[in-house]
Structure 1
Amino acid sequence: AFYSDGWGSRNMRLSYCFPPPERILEGTKRLGEVIAAELEMNHTFGIAAGEHRHNDLQTGPAPDIS
């Protein structure tokens, strides 16, 4: 997905149309492990000075929009 305003860095798009179910399950498990590790790093060390937190008032499109 492309966001011309830069807010897309907060979103992730996953495709489930091609891989078999067991690969989707393994992929989402691995993705969850990576996200958990990154959240733990942020919790431990904080967010770098050059980074910014997103404004939670702006949301992306609803999940049923394609």
Structure 2
Amino acid sequence: MPGNFVIWVRCASSNVADQVLAALIRHDRRLGPLCTPIGERHLAVTAGHEPAFRRALHALGYALPV
């Protein structure tokens, strides 16, 4: 994925649901192409994809802090 990474989405705790959420994001048809997986619970999003990533994530009922 070209560009500078600006967001590091961390779905990390001892909760199995966090791994499931990260997998859901990675495999979503809108979100998957906008991010790069970094391990099981982390995702990287480039600056150019940030707005679209936030909109698609919001459409699933989730949000990132500003």
* TM-score relative to the length of structure 2: 0.31
- Structure with greater proportional strand content: 2
Q: Which of structures 1 and 2 has the bigger CA Rg?
A: 1
Higher relative contact order (CA 8 A, sep 6+): 1
TM-score with structure 1 length normalisation? 0.31
